[in-house]
Amino acid sequence: MDWKSMELPKPKNPRPQVGELGLYDYWRLVVASKLVKKSVAAILQTAVITYLERNWEKHETRLTLEANEQGISPEEMFLRYVNDDGDK
């Protein structure tokens, strides 16, 4: 993807919310954050970044396939998703 060719808007909500965690998972997260001396928010941020680093290639492949089906570039498809987001 040509990231430099895209002008990305600022998100309405740059701090996405996570869904409710089960009791066991919540307390494991709290304890883990204390063990590594980071906030729960920092742990969640790291988890999201790690997920994207590990999985973006697969998502980009899907994005490219979808773009090809619609006869547009992957960058255009990406921007369609960005502009359609509405921060749901």
79 found inside a domain:
yes
Q: Which amino acid is at 79?
A: L
Range of the domain at 25: 21-84
Q: How many CB atoms lie within 10 A of CB 2?
A: 8
72 found inside a domain:
yes
pLDDT computed for residue 88 by the predictor = 47
73 found inside a domain:
yes
In tens, the pLDDT along 42-75 reads: 999 999 999 999 999 999 999 999 999 999 999 9
45 found inside a domain:
yes
User: Does residue 44 contact residue 38 with C-beta atoms inside 8 Å?
Assistant: no
Structural domain count, the chain: 1
pLDDT > 50? residue 37: yes
Q: Considering only CA atoms, which of 8, 18, 19 is closest in space to residue 85?
A: 8
pLDDT > 80? residue 33: yes
26 found inside a domain:
yes
pLDDT computed for residue 15 by the predictor = 82
